[in-house]
Amino acid sequence: MCGIAGEYQFKEKNIQLSNLENANLKQRTRGPDGGGIYHLDNLALAHRRLKIFDLTDRAAQPMVDHVLGLALVFNGAIYNFQELRAELESKGYSFISNSDTEVLLKAYHAWGSECISRLHGMFAFAIWERETGKLTLARDRMGIKPLYYANTSSGFKFASTLPALLEFEGIDKSIDKNALHHYLTFHAVPEPLTIISGIKKLLPGSIMTVHPDGKKEQSRYWSLRFNESEANHSLNESEWLESSREALMLATNRQLAADVPVGVLLSGGLDSSLLVALASQIHGQKIRTFSIGFESANGEIGDEFYYSDIVANHFGTKHHQMFISNKQLADSLDKCVSAMSEPMTSHDNIGFYLLSKEVARNVKVALSGQGADEIFAGYNWFQDCPSGEFSANESAKIISDKVIDRSLAEYKSLVTYEYHSENNHEDFLVDLCEQNGSPNPLDNLLAYESTFALANGPLGRVDNMTMSASLEARVPFLDEEIISLATSMPLKYKLQDGGKYMIKQLARQLLPQEIIDRPKGYFPVPALKYLQGSSLELMHEVLSTNNVKNRGIFNLTEINTLLENPEKHLTPNGSSKLWQIGLLELWFQKHGL
């Protein structure tokens, strides 16, 4: 897990290395163990390293192979790199390190961009070919690892984080009004847009080639689709159960691989508890587990220690428990928001931020349960979703009614006229349904949750917050084996028993009953949901009259209404409307925008 950045000029050869150095420094927490820059005339590649595989300097980046004529910067982890290495050695390649980075570089030489189909892991990388001058960038299938880029008059720039790109000159830093509408509607912005007009995100499962003359080509090498008519209906329940056990055991075993200590982020929910159970079986020794809790507010409990303690005690883990007071929470919000590549409204950001600081004192890699709810229909809104044949427009309307947090009329009353836009979120949802290719709204809702909502929600949050503590987070439920299983599994084996049926059936063989049938939790942080005390004081400071007027995005009357009584203004999913807006303004301030 690392941070990457680079610049490629097409007409001139006057790269200002100070900009790249500043961008690299901005990403230092992503790789505190080392860093470097490779510079050749109109090309410069930068890297920050977090040592996970091969702790020697032989695995340092940028990795340059002068014989093969390749230079690589890579962020992520290739879990099957040892198998790929053996295959490459049989083809005559030799290695000087025991790293996944060198395997990726030589796999690219052997198979070109087709090597991506052989990779099991999470990754974002850029590789330059001396012979052709091409710069190739790629992002993993599910978008676990981020990759941002910008086109300017002086050339092409890229980085692992949006704030790192702000260190370069010539980038349009204005607010993209369509992205703003998405943010205030979905709580996230779909690729390739970001909230900043001049900065884009590479789509998950895609590859971009930048030629020496500035020409760019982009394509999808993989896409996730759910279609009940194409599911495997030949297997019975016991066969699906055995397939699920084998796939999750393989994925967990793969992702425990590291040359440094590994732990598990244990919320006390089904998914993280199942990872603890499997990791305990595989390791045969005590697993390190980590939980966090917050003060209660408005009668809502702020921790799930009761459940995480059950799991920790059952498997005899080395358990670490953190309790955060409301004052500690408020005092940490500034740093948490500074760690965000993009504005991220979910209350669990602060939980992951603070938890990661504690975890990183003990391990450098942690498994997390993200992804299971999305690909196995674990959320309650899957349960009453219509099933049958509907048009893409009808499916989009069904999804919109479930996930949209703000109507167009409310949006237009909230923002100033300059930022008015039409229902671009409806067009986005229609396109998503058409791309998924199923007439079944349930399939399309699964696609929505497992692609856009997952990559720009839980995955983005976990990557940003763990990397702020120099901690590598891995997500076994999004391993290629599990994704293949989920997309081929019929809906009836997902939707039963309130969702995630087959995962629950597997858990019944491994976990205490109280964990399986408990009400679903959502990483509660009541102080941010209800905005009381220090957190509310922060919102008043951030959204002062002068700040709102100077920014020019929001109507002051609407902001004052929210500030007067934030507890009365919650979105349909129970989030604070004031927090969503205040966080956006705080993010702008923290990044000098």
- Average pLDDT (477-501) is 96
Q: Note whether 214 and 316 are same-domain residues.
A: no
Residue 115: inside a domain: yes
| Judgement on whether residues 8 and 95 belong to the same structural domain of the protein | yes
Give the per-residue pLDDT at 522: 58
Q: Which of 259-263, 281-285, 392-396, 507-511 has the lowest mean pLDDT?
A: 281-285
The answer to whether residue 317 scores a pLDDT higher than 70 is: yes
Unique residue bearing structure tokens 């923290």: 590
Last residue of a domain, one of 478, 495, 526: 526
Q: Using the 8-state DSSP alphabet, how is residue 300 labeled?
A: B
Domain count, the chain: 2
The one-character DSSP state at 118 is G
The 3 state secondary structure assigned to 308-340 is: HHHHHHHHCCEEEEEEECHHHHHHHHHHHHHCC
Distance of alpha carbon 475 from alpha carbon 275, whole angstroms? 10
pLDDT of residue 14: 83
Tell me the average pLDDT across 247-265. Answer: 95
**Is pLDDT at 384 greater than 80 in this prediction?**
yes
* 188 belongs to a structural domain: yes
- pLDDT tens, residue by residue, 22-43: 999 999 999 999 999 999 989 9
Domain CATH number, residue 114 = 3.60.20.10
Percent above pLDDT 70 for the chain: 97
Residues 33 and 150 in one domain: yes
312 to 30, 235, 261, 557: CA distances (angstroms): 29, 34, 18, 49
Same domain, 106 and 68: yes
Same domain, 240 and 141: no
Which residue, 504, 526, 548, sits at the end of a domain?
526
Which of 57-71, 241-255, 307-321, 531-545 comes out lowest in average pLDDT? 531-545
Tokens of 145: 């690892």
What residues form DSSP beta bridges with 291? 321
pLDDT at 569: 87
User: 532 CB contacts (<8 Å, ≥6 apart)?
Assistant: 297, 326
Q: How would you class 550 by CB atoms within 10 Å of its CB: exposed for 0-12, middle for 13-18, buried for 19 or more? A: exposed
**Two tokens at 499?**
């969702």
Q: Is residue 385 part of a domain?
A: no
Whether 565 is covered by a domain: the verdict is no
Q: Tens digit of pLDDT for each residue in 503-553? A: 999 999 999 999 998 776 656 676 677 777 788 888 999 999 999 999 999
Query: In whole numbers, what is the pLDDT of the chain averaged over residues?
Result: 93
The predicted model gives 137-146 an average pLDDT of 98
- At residue 41, the pLDDT reads 87
591 within some domain: no
Cα 61 to the center of its chain, rounded Å: 23
Q: Where are the beta strands (DSSP E) in 389-535?
A: 472-474
Note down the domain range covering 214: 2-220
In 3D, which of 189, 210, 200 has the Cα closest to residue 424? 189
Whether residue 300 is contained in a domain is answered as: yes
Helix then strand then coil, in percent of the chain rounded to 5, is 45, 15, 35
Residues 342 and 453 in one domain: yes
pLDDT at residue 297 is higher than 70: no
Quick check: 109 and 131 in contact, CB under 8 A?
no
Helix extents (H) in 369-457: 372-375, 392-403, 408-414, 424-436, 441-448, 454-455
- In terms of pTM, does the model score above 0.85? yes
- Three-state DSSP class for 126? strand
Same domain, yes or no: 241 and 347: yes
Q: CB–CB of 109/68 below 8 Å? A: yes
Q: Does residue 212 sit in the same domain as residue 234? A: no
247: CATH: 3.40.50.620
Distance of CA 277 to the CA centre of its chain: 24
Quick one: 234 and 212 in the same domain? no
* Final residue in a domain of this structure, among 526, 548, 571: 526
Residues 209 and 317 in one domain: no
- Does residue 411 fall inside a structural domain? no
* Mean pLDDT within 342-367: 92
208, 306: one domain: no
**Is 138 in the same domain as 181?**
yes
Say if 517 falls within a structural domain.
yes
Q: From 265, 273, 367, select the one nearest 311 (Cα to Cα).
A: 273
Q: In this predicted structure, what is the pLDDT of residue 495?
A: 96
Measure the CA–CA gap between 327 and 308, rounded to whole angstroms.
Answer: 24
